[in-house]
A and B are shown apart, each in its own frame.
Chain A
């Protein structure tokens, strides 16, 4: 009885520990809630007039289409979106002090703007791309100049004042992360090659969506894997409960079997978790990437440590059971460890919808 009370006291502090984390997570999530279209532009671009400049609300977007299109092939297409330190709309400021642009997605076409990525000429415009610089965090970026060939003036500086223009390589997707405000901006380009008679048109849409880093699409977590993990842990909770029932009957064989099942399922959980982590690391996503991943790795990491601790405890129990230390009268250790294991399961039951399913 004393041992069990001690265990409940410990579980109480565990509940507080994780409730604190989960509460902080919910508060952060709510602070960064939401997703809204920030800007959308539809253009129809005749391939002969192969540049398009769009200026609105102090935001400049330039899309450039290579006119070396072979009929019947997808147009070779370069696009860039430039957003400067001006307001995109009333309540949102993009790229002002502290906000950073990270080039996350390479040109879909692979070769960037022109061979070597240095300079390219389109009708009346020279596009000049700098070497890759590194910002203070080691992220690569390039500055870009768009020069009018006739007047020689920089078409972007004209609008952007003296701020350096940051080039965003835009393939099929573009991500900008505004770390200061926990938001990301994702541009999606839908384009279609249209032929009407002898004319070729490129019809495209650029959507710029402002999105919280907590948005499901920004999180990019695998719900099926996490759901599988949830079921794995629930199943391990079942086998743990059955192990306790077995030892209370004095059934040594089933106790050992159920303890082994529990340990195996806990290991399966960790393996799936490791797959999830590795996927993130391979995409260069780390706890420092943004506030969501900070919370995600913190919460799942601490939970994972609890699973590891549980596995160690269960292995000790299994070993002691094999040595015949437990019977129907003496099994408090298994019962208390069972309580701990159920709490580990319970915590995950709360973490799963919080981290993976919240809109």
Chain B
């Protein structure tokens, strides 16, 4: 489905680099979690690393980086609910971060 002129590009080296980055991020997630900075902080860092990993998967494995403009619009279909969810989540996140920490 990609535009024809993209097909001759060899993405394999990039895929491998992305894979190594994802594994490194997984190790990083585990290492960071051993350091207890409070639930809110660990949650935020965990989510940030996950978002970074998710972006790598989306951009490269799911071809969004190379896809044409129309495909790039498609992702909003998937991301809009996510943004809404985070708006819903913001109050409890702020709550644990600012109010309930001893």
Task: Compute how far the CA of A20 lies from the CA of B81 in the bound complex, rounded to whole angstroms.
Answer: 10
Instruction: Check A19 against B54 for contact (C-beta < 8 Å).
Output: no
Instruction: Check A342 against B61 for contact (C-beta < 8 Å).
Output: yes
Instruction: Check B43 against A358 for contact (C-beta < 8 Å).
Output: yes
Instruction: Check A15 against B92 for contact (C-beta < 8 Å).
Output: no
Instruction: Count how many chain A residues have C-beta atoms less than 8 Å from C-beta atoms of the other chain.
Output: 52
Measured CB to CB, the closest approach of chain A to B76, in angstroms, equals 9
Instruction: Check A30 against B96 for contact (C-beta < 8 Å).
Output: yes
Measured CB to CB, the closest approach of chain B to A297, in angstroms, equals 21
Q: Is A349 an interface residue (CB 8 A)?
A: yes
In the complex, chain A residues whose CB is within 8 Å of the CB of B61: 237-238, 240-241, 338, 342, 345
In the complex, chain A residues whose CB is within 8 Å of the CB of B30: 223, 227, 357
Digit string of A216-259 for contact with B (CB within 8 Å is 1, else 0)?
Answer: 00000001000100110011011011101100110000000000
In the complex, chain B residues whose CB is within 8 Å of the CB of A29: 39
Instruction: Count how many chain B residues have C-beta atoms less than 8 Å from C-beta atoms of the other chain.
Output: 52
Instruction: Check B39 against A231 for contact (C-beta < 8 Å).
Output: no
Q: Is A315 an interface residue (CB 8 A)?
A: no
Question: Assuming the A-B contacts A1-B70, A30-B92, A335-B1, are A238 and B19 also in contact, with contact meaning beta carbons closer than 8 angstroms in the complex?
Answer: yes
Q: Is B85 an interface residue (CB 8 A)?
A: yes
Q: Which of B49, B57, B58, B88 has the most CB of A within 10 A?
A: B57
Q: Is A332 an interface residue (CB 8 A)?
A: yes
> What are 18 pairs between A and B in contact, CB < 8 Å?
A5-B74, A9-B77, A12-B80, A13-B81, A15-B79, A19-B82, A26-B43, A26-B92, A29-B39, A34-B39, A223-B30, A227-B27, A231-B26, A242-B12, A331-B1, A349-B57, A350-B47, A352-B26
Give chain A's interface residues, CB within 8 Å of chain B: 1, 3-5, 8-9, 11-13, 15-16, 19-20, 23, 26-27, 29-30, 33-34, 223, 227, 230-231, 234-235, 237-238, 240-242, 244-245, 248-249, 328, 331-332, 335, 338-339, 342, 345-346, 349-350, 352-354, 357-359
Closest 9 CB pairs of A and B: A353-B46, A357-B33, A8-B74, A19-B85, A16-B81, A12-B78, A12-B77, A238-B19, A241-B61
